[in-house]
Amino acid sequence: MSTPRVEIYTKAYCGYCHRAKALLDRKGVAYEEYDITMGGPKRQEMIERNPDARTVPQIFIDDESIGGSDELAALDAAGKLDPKLGL
């Protein structure tokens, strides 16, 4: 099984972003972080990937939109996150 690609769109001083990254860090998962604090093309990319996304973080695992920090934590609590991460 290959390692899934994990991407997270964040903003500076975002507590939810910090919480989501901390969860991924605890699991030893590498991720690509896109800081959209100042907007720009990555913010537009995030919205194109998930048209309902209006808040950060927005997390994608192998191009599947997971949602934000709460959704990531809920997946973990339900035991569904580790299989998605290949753990």
User: What's the confidence (pLDDT) of residue 14?
Assistant: 97
E strand residue ranges, 5-81: 6-10, 32-35, 58-61, 64-67
Q: Are 38 and 63 in contact (CB under 8 A)?
A: no
**What is the rounded average pLDDT for all residues in the chain?**
95
User: What's the confidence (pLDDT) of residue 3?
Assistant: 87
Reported as a single tens digit per residue, the pLDDT across 18-54 is 999 999 999 999 999 999 999 999 999 999 999 998 8
Instruction: Determine the CATH number of domain 6-85.
Output: 3.40.30.10
pLDDT score of 59 more than 90:
yes
Give the closest residue to 23 by CA, choosing from 75, 86, 83: 75
What's the average model confidence in pLDDT over 2-29?
96
User: What's the confidence (pLDDT) of residue 36?
Assistant: 97
